[in-house]
C-alpha cells in the first residue's frame, strides 16, 4: 500500500487466475471515485500507479470516463462467454428480470439501493430462497464486471440475503452411502461414480463440478481449481486419493471437459436419468443431488470439524449459511464429552 499527501492511497493486489497471475490496482483519493485496473505483470501495475501519482489530473479523468457499459450488455457478455451451467434457461430468466429493470443503466452508476428496490419488485409469493437466487445471479454478473471492466466494487455483495427455511437437511447414512456408491459404479454412464464421489468428498456444487476441465486438475498436489464459483470467486478443492484414481481413468480423454455430454462433448452431461436410476437401485428415497453437499457437511461435523472449517470446504462466504449444520457439530461434541467424561 502506498499513501501520500492529499489522501492518495494505492494498493496492488496479486490475483491468481486459472492459468496465470494478475495484479489489480486500487486507487482512492478524497472527493474522487475509486478506480481499479488489472495488469498482467506487477511492473505494469507499478508503472500505472506512478503515472497517476505524478499527474493527479489523470486520476480524475480516468475515474470520470470508466466504465460506461450498460448492465444489459454486461449480462449478454457474461452469458455468452462465461456461464457454463446446466440450467441456462433458468439463469437467463433471472437475468432477463434484472435487464428489464436496470439494463439501461451504466454499471458504474448502479448502487445498493437500486438492487434493493429491484429485488422488492419480485412477486411477493416467491420464497426467500428464490429471491436469494435472483440476488445471487446478478451478483455473479457484477463480479464478472469487476474482473473484465475494472468496476471498483460489487454493490450486491453488501446486501444481506433473506433468511431461508433450512429445516430440511437430508444426508446419507453410512449404509445409504455404500449402496449409492455401488449403484453409481454399475451405472451405464461411466463417470457417475466419480461425480458423486467428488460431490461428497469436496462438498462442491453441481455446476462447479460439471464445468471442471482436466486442465483444472493438479494431479501432483491433488487439487481442482474452480474458476468461478456461485459467489463469483475462484476456489480450490482438495481431492482424495480415490478421486485421483478415478480421474486417472479418463485423464487423456478429448474433449477436456471432465463430465462432458456424450451427445454434445463441449457441454456438461445431463445425468438426471442416470442419477434417478442409481437412487432407485440403491433404494434411497427423499434425496436430491444437492443433498450430497449436506452429506459432506455431515461427515465433516461428525469428524469434529468446526463451522468455520465446514464453511471453508463448502465455499460459504457467510457463516450464517453454515449455521444450519450447527446441531451436527453439537451432536458430535455431546458424544465426545460422554465418551471421555461419562465414566468420571
DSSP string, 268-303: B---HHHHHHHHHHTT--S--TTHHHHHHHHHHHHT
Structural class in CATH, domain 71-158: mainly alpha
Q: In angstroms, rounded to a whole number, what is the distance separating the alpha carbons of residues 35 and 254?
A: 42
Distances in Å between the Cα of 40 and the Cα atoms of 43, 50, 233 are 9, 17, 19
Contact residues for 109 (Cβ-Cβ < 8 A; gap 6+): none
Mean pLDDT of the chain, nearest integer: 81
> What is the mean predicted confidence (pLDDT) over 44-54?
79
Q: In angstroms, rounded to a whole number, what is the distance separating the alpha carbons of residues 336 and 324?
A: 21
Give the H or E element holding residue 124.
none
Band (pLDDT 50/70/90 cuts) for residue 55 is low
C-alpha cell belonging to residue 129? 430462497
Residues in a beta bridge with 21? 16
Distances in Å between the Cα of 307 and the Cα atoms of 6, 113, 336 are 43, 32, 17
Note whether 29 and 55 are within 8 A (CB): no
Contact residues for 307 (Cβ-Cβ < 8 A; gap 6+): 319, 322, 323, 325, 326, 329
Q: What is the 3-state secondary structure (H, E, C) of 96-151?
A: HHHHHHHCCCEHHHCCHHHHHHHHCCCCCCCCHHHHHHHHHHHHHHHHHHHHHCCC
The position carrying cell 496479486 is: 14
- Residue 230: Cβ within 10 Å count: 19
- Residue 307: Cβ within 10 Å count: 19
CATH 3.30.160 region(s) of the chain?
2-64
Task: Please state which CATH number belongs to domain 174-339.
Answer: 1.10.443.10
Residue 9: its pLDDT value, please? 80
- Would you say residue 16 has pLDDT above 90? no
Distances in Å between the Cα of 131 and the Cα atoms of 42, 84, 142, 233, 258 are 40, 22, 17, 21, 32
- Would you say residue 51 has pLDDT above 90? no
The position carrying cell 428480470 is: 97
CATH 1.10.443.10 region(s) of the chain?
174-339
Structural class in CATH, domain 2-64: alpha beta
Note whether 173 and 267 are within 8 A (CB): no
pLDDT tens for 66-96 read: 556 889 988 988 887 776 655 677 888 899 9
Among 111-120, 127-136, 277-286, 310-319, which stretch is predicted with the lowest mean pLDDT?
310-319
> What is the mean predicted confidence (pLDDT) over 219-229?
88
Helix axes 272-281, 192-202, angle to 10 degrees: 80
Band (pLDDT 50/70/90 cuts) for residue 227 is confident
Query: Which pTM was predicted?
Result: 0.54
User: Between the ranges 7-16, 280-289, 295-304, where is the mean pLDDT highest?
Assistant: 280-289
- Would you say residue 5 has pLDDT above 60? no
Q: What is the DSSP string of 226-240?
A: ESS-TTS--EEEE--
**Rg of the chain (C-alpha set):** 23
Q: In angstroms, rounded to a whole number, what is the distance separating the alpha carbons of residues 68 and 110?
A: 11
Distances in Å between the Cα of 297 and the Cα atoms of 176, 251, 275, 302 are 16, 28, 21, 9
- Would you say residue 165 has pLDDT above 70? no
- Could you report how far apart the first and last alpha carbons of the chain are, in Å? 56
The position carrying cell 437475468 is: 95
Amino acid at each position: 500500500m502506498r499513501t501520500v499527501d492529499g489522501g492518495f492511497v494505492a494498493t496492488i493486489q496479486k490475483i491468481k487466475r486459472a492459468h496465470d497471475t494478475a495484479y489489480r490496482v486500487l486507487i482512492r483519493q478524497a472527493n474522487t471515485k475509486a478506480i481499479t485496473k488489472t495488469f498482467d505483470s506487477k511492473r505494469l501495475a507499478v508503472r500505472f500507479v506512478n503515472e497517476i501519482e505524478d499527474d493527479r489530473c489523470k486520476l480524475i479523468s480516468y475515474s470520470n470516463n470508466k466504465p460506461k457499459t450498460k448492465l444489459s450488455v454486461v449480462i449478454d457478455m457474461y452469458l455468452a462467454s462465461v456461464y457454463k451451467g446446466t440450467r441456462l434457461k433458468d439463469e437467463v430468466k433471472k437475468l432477463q428480470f434484472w435487464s428489464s429493470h436496470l439494463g439501461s443503466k451504466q454499471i458504474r452508476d448502479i448502487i445498493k439501493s437500486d438492487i434493493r428496490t429491484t429485488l422488492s419488485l419480485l412477486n411477493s409469493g416467491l420464497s426467500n430462497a428464490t429471491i436469494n437466487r435472483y440476488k445471487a445471479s446478478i451478483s455473479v454478473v457484477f463480479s464478472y464486471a469487476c474482473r473484465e471492466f475494472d468496476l471498483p466494487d460489487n454493490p450486491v455483495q453488501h446486501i444481506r440475503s433473506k433468511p431461508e427455511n433450512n429445516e430440511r437437511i437430508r444426508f446419507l447414512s453410512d449404509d445409504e452411502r455404500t449402496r449409492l456408491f455401488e449403484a453409481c459404479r454399475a451405472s451405464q454412464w461411466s463417470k457417475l461414480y466419480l461425480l458423486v464421489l467428488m460431490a461428497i468428498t469436496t462438498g462442491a456444487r453441481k455446476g462447479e463440478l460439471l464445468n471442471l476441465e482436466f486442465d483444472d486438475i493438479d494431479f501432483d498436489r491433488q487439487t481442482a481449481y474452480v474458476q468461478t464459483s456461485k459467489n463469483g470467486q475462484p476456489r480450490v478443492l482438495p481431492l482424495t486419493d480415490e478421486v485421483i484414481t478415478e480421474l486417472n481413468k479418463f485423464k487423456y480423454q478429448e474433449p477436456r471437459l471432465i463430465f462432458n455430454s456424450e451427445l454434445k462433448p463441449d457441454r456438461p452431461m445431463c445425468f438426471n436419468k442416470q442419477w434417478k436410476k442409481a437412487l432407485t437401485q440403491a433404494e434411497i428415497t427423499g434425496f436430491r443431488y444437492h443433498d450430497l453437499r449436506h452429506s459432506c457437511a455431515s461427515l465433516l461435523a461428525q469428524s469434529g470439524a468446526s463451522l468455520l472449517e465446514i464453511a471453508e470446504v463448502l465455499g460459504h462466504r457467510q457463516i450464517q449459511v453454515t449455521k444450519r449444520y450447527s446441531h451436527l457439530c453439537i451432536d458430535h461434541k455431546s458424544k465426545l464429552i460422554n465418551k471421555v467424561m461419562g465414566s468420571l
